[in-house]
Structure 1
Amino acid sequence: MITRSAERDALLLWLGSRVGLLVATLLGVSLQDYLGKWRAWDAGLFVVIAEHGYDGVPGRPPDAGLPAFFPGLPMALRLVYLVVPDWALAGLLISLVAGAVATIFLARLAVFEGGTGWVAVLALLLFPTAVFLAAGYSESLFLAFAVPAWLAARQRRWPVAAVLAAGASCVRITGLFLALALWVEFAASRPALRQAPWLAVPLLPLAGYSYFHYARSGDWFAWKHAQEAGWGREMVWPWESFGKTWDAAMGGDEFAVAFRMEIAGVAVAVLGLVWLLVLRRWSEVVYCGLQAGALMTSAYYLSIPRSLLLWFPLWVAIARLRHRWVIAAYAMVSGPLMVLNTVRFLTGAWAG
């Protein structure tokens, strides 16, 4: 049974962590400088799309990588900017509100699955790349749609699940993997077939976004080709991807640490998939496994630790553990890494 105390605990953890992050990172920095620190890496690219569209900043060469970013967050940025006329602050506020929604429903999902709500939320908030839940990135907004969608699916409320999953598909290509996992969950539940057409709804945003770029540039798969043009993320054999990443991780430049984190992220992903397989969570294996497959067959590992934030089945699985020492050990290992990664991001270093 889902209780109000689980929701309260989740919200307190989320807001408390945001206050702690604000205090820890605002000391000795002016407000304008502080906001500027958060407009780094992809957060700045989301702002460019929100402000100027996918053609990029007028007068500058077009950025071929922009179509890789789905329109959900840029649209939200434009709306919030009407009320809060600062792009960086608008991004932070979206992540703040979306993160609150995501953590509340994560706690609900954990309780529904027989776990402890606050443990699932704490596991998410202490993950090494949790800084991206606060930044003007798409992770919090995606989870704000995806976690309630999954809870609705587990409760067999298929229309609600489909509409929420469509919202997730507006935010990230990961919504496609969520849609496929919903199909598996739907088939396993043996529902009335009259509800099956709802499962097509999460695919509509992807179709619409593909058509938008086809009308704009003649390319139905502009979002995929943007990954290749902007970051060189072509599909290769898994061992080729690992080899290239390993070589980069053993280098001596500033990105070597980040690539070591990528390899560690792959290890966590593989262990997590094995865990879900042992638990026979087949639909969740589909959701996480498709993401892992896509990321581990890229030309090199990129943003795998950050993508693990979206693996809500892992946080729920942790919440179902009855051995509290495991959770304490996780917190002691992951917490300091999260702080380190937050410092890296706010000092301009690549952090996932």
Structure 2
Amino acid sequence: MGAGRVKRKFAATLELVQVVWPIFVVHLLFVLTAGVLWQHYFGTLSHTVTPKRYGTFIAGLSHWDAAWFLHIAKHGYVRSNPDAAAFFPLFPITMNMVGHLFSWFAHLGTPLPHRQPGDRAYLLGGIVVSNVSFFLALAGLYIVSRRTRTPRQAVRGLWLMALFPSSYYFSAAYSESLFLMLIVFSFVFAYQRKWIWAAILMGLASLTWDLGVFGIPSLLWLVWRDFRIHQRLTKSLAHALEVSVIPVLFFSVYPAWLEHIFGNPLMFVWAEDHHWHRHFTWIWTSLHEDYLRDPLGFLASVLFLIILLAAIRRMPFEQWLFSAFALLIPLFSSAGTYPMSMVRFVLMAFPLYLFVGGAIRKMETYFAVIAACSVFMAWLTGLFASGHWIA
């Protein structure tokens, strides 16, 4: 690589960091401040994840599903806790690795058997993984958005995602950020025609959340579009095979492991039904149930379905297709008496945030949307940090 090319790459990376860094910092400060203030003034409902035990910052970002990830990071998948199979393995694996790293540095000079991380180290590891992943995801989102939008429109889309009311999940010990980062960079590599890397990242995403396998049709569409441009049948067939098979191979590792542990490769499906009562249902039934049990999730579902319909033919088809899967897959599965968690699931429809960022014309409208999002984000972040169930 020539010196000129290195300089250009360095300059492009520096520009990207300068764009993304302020958005990430504002998001993180917003989450931490809201969480600390809410815990200070209103306390916490949790009797296990408390500021006294873990510290205010860690406790505020480690409720609900974080406890499942903590259990898996510490013990793996064990027969005594089959419901944990609903949570895919890549995030707790990274949580375990970073937790061990923190513990190792914290106990330098002590014998190796005494360097095992405690719960605090694991949870901090998960929070660090999430925040690093979210920073990288924002960078990837900017790259994706700049393909079809101006810098101003791209930045607006990033702000909308970073300050969306439920975006605090991106900073918590949850798998959302890691999944988003892997999916976004799978698209980035596909746009660069680096098909194997795109397939590998999509495969890793499918080990983070089963929604990852539904990114395969978008990659196949991009391969088809590439074939129409270059008319190279043999290469295009090879690329189609790569983006189809590699993610499925990655995904199949998890069912194979579940077969080894539980004797059931579909244990994650069983756990979803057994513990969370998720099962197939028609979308209108899901929306009706969410309207009755989780009005906030219902509003999020309706809003994003409207945006999805408005975006037809107004955004790249591969992005629209993934957004449709991200919204419709959870909407076709009812959670019984539980909320459907749609305020979380809509976070994965990342192209729709980029679309709205580019579609808003008036500065006044944009600032009004950002202000409203910020108010609701402060409210939901505070509730989550104090142990309330949101999604």
TM-score with structure 1 length normalisation? 0.88
CA distance in 1, matches of 2:137, 2:193: 19
Post-superposition offset of 1:224:
1.6
Q: Output aligned runs, 1:255-294, within 5 Å.
A: 259-279=294-314, 281-294=316-329
For residue 138 of structure 1, what is the aligned residue in structure 2?
175
Choose which of 69, 78, 82 in structure 1 pairs with 2:100.
Answer: 82
Choose which of 67, 76, 92 in structure 1 pairs with 2:85.
Answer: 67
State the AA in 1 paired with 2:286.
S
Post-superposition offset of 1:31:
8.0
For residue 94 of structure 1, what is the aligned residue in structure 2?
129
Q: Output aligned runs, 1:162-201, within 5 Å.
A: 162-190=199-227, 192-193=235-236, 194-199=238-243, 200-201=245-246
For residue 48 of structure 2, what is the aligned residue in structure 1?
none
Contact 1:162 1:198 in 2 (8 A): yes
CA 1:336 to 1:157, structure 2 compared with 1: closer, same or farther past 3 Å?
same
Contact 2:142 2:155 in 1 (8 A): yes
Choose which of 238, 244, 247 in structure 1 pairs with 2:292.
Answer: 247
State the AA in 2 paired with 1:308.
V
Post-superposition offset of 1:223:
1.5
More divergent stretch after superposition (210-219 vs 186-195) = 186-195
Structure 2: gaps (5+ residues)? 1-7, 41-50, 104-120
Contact 2:59 2:385 in 1 (8 A): no
> Partner of 2:278: helix, strand, or coil?
coil
More divergent stretch after superposition (2-11 vs 77-86) = 2-11
Choose which of 222, 238, 244 in structure 1 pairs with 2:283.
Answer: 238
Post-superposition offset of 1:185:
2.5
Contact 1:43 1:136 in 2 (8 A): yes
CA distance in 1, matches of 2:320, 2:33: 38
CA distance in 2, matches of 1:272, 1:150: 21
CA 1:281 to 1:40, structure 2 compared with 1: closer, same or farther past 3 Å?
same
Cα-to-partner distance string for 1:263-305 (whole Å, 9 max, x where unaligned): 0111122112212314153222321222322211222451111
CA distance in 2, matches of 1:221, 1:268: 33
CA distance in 1, matches of 2:353, 2:150: 10
**Root-mean-square deviation over aligned CA pairs:** 2.2
> Partner of 1:135: helix, strand, or coil?
coil
CA distance in 1, matches of 2:380, 2:89: 27
CA 1:310 to 1:14, structure 2 compared with 1: closer, same or farther past 3 Å?
same
1:304 aligns with 2:342: yes
1:212 aligns with 2:257: yes
Contact 1:98 1:141 in 2 (8 A): yes
1:50 aligns with 2:60: no
Cα-to-partner distance string for 1:136-172 (whole Å, 9 max, x where unaligned): 0001111121111112212322122112212211211
For residue 117 of structure 2, what is the aligned residue in structure 1?
none
CA distance in 2, matches of 1:121, 1:145: 17
More divergent stretch after superposition (141-150 vs 109-118) = 109-118
CA distance in 2, matches of 1:321, 1:6: 22
State the AA in 1 paired with 2:130.
S
CA 1:113 to 1:151, structure 2 compared with 1: closer, same or farther past 3 Å?
farther
Cα-to-partner distance string for 1:167-198 (whole Å, 9 max, x where unaligned): 21121111111122212222233263232222
For residue 251 of structure 1, what is the aligned residue in structure 2?
none
Contact 2:186 2:198 in 1 (8 A): yes
Contact 1:63 1:230 in 2 (8 A): no
More divergent stretch after superposition (63-72 vs 13-22) = 13-22
CA distance in 2, matches of 1:14, 1:347: 23
Q: Output aligned runs, 1:320-335, within 5 Å.
A: 320-321=358-359, 323=361, 324-335=363-374
Cα-to-partner distance string for 1:35-80 (whole Å, 9 max, x where unaligned): 2332210011001011011227xxxxx3342111110101001100
For residue 255 of structure 1, what is the aligned residue in structure 2?
none
TM-score with structure 2 length normalisation? 0.80
For residue 39 of structure 1, what is the aligned residue in structure 2?
62
Cα-to-partner distance string for 1:78-108 (whole Å, 9 max, x where unaligned): 1001122312211111111111111111112
Contact 1:176 1:203 in 2 (8 A): yes
CA 1:54 to 1:178, structure 2 compared with 1: closer, same or farther past 3 Å?
same
> Partner of 1:55: helix, strand, or coil?
coil
Structure 1: gaps (5+ residues)? 57-61, 249-258
Computing the radius of gyration from Cα coordinates, the structure with the larger value is 2
